[in-house]
Homo-oligomer: A and B are copies of this chain.
Amino acid sequence: MFTIPVNAHVQLKFPEIHDATALFTLVDADRPGLGRFLPWVEKTKTVEDEARFLHFVREQVSQDQLWAAVILVEGQAAGMIDIHQLDAENRTGEIGYWLGKTYRGRGVVTAALAAVERVAFRELALTRLVLVAANTNTASQAVAQRRGFQQEGILRQALVLPEGVSDAVLYSKLVSD
């Protein structure tokens, strides 16, 4: 499998259809926690849904509209991380990620994000990365801050979450930061 080393425990791997089972198991094991901030969770009802999503991801990647990776912890699929809204003209993209419940709280996303920033700034030639976190998503905000993303503003009522319409914090990191 094609991978990007992150640290002694964490790797990023290029997404493949056969990752669907492991990823679906993670989603299915924490619907309340993941679904709170990720609207797609409730629509992902079977392994086949996840496989279809991975097909779509691979297609988008092949067309340079997305960069995406499965996060591996100790070799096991633990979540995903991506750069969507890839804008080659303005050299910007937006970070997205999720992590299964048992993998949270160990700095996995922070480490993975560091690696994704290197991909974005050195390989994809982006100059600006955006990260948007719901104002109640303190975990995501902590990740952004730990990685030196700067808060640029509050996006009013920018996210429709299961718990209602939510404001969001807009962070960015520049290649020059």
Contacts and interface: CB of A to CB of B under 8 A. Distances in A.
Interface of A: 1-4, 12-14, 16-18, 39, 55, 58-59, 61-64, 69, 89-92, 119, 123, 127-128, 150, 152-160, 165, 170, 172, 174, 176
Copies of this chain, count: 6
Contacts of A1: 4, 119, 123
Contacts of A62: 55, 58-59, 61-62
Given A62-B61, A64-B17, A155 B152 contact: yes
A153 B174 contact: no
A141 to B, nearest CB: 15
A159 B165 CA distance: 28
Nearest to A13: B2
Contacts of A39: 89
A14 B14 contact: yes
Nearest to A14: B2
Interchain residue pairs A-B with the least CB separation, the first 8? A153-B153, A2-B2, A62-B62, A58-B62, A152-B153, A2-B14, A90-B160, A59-B62
A16 B124 CA distance: 10
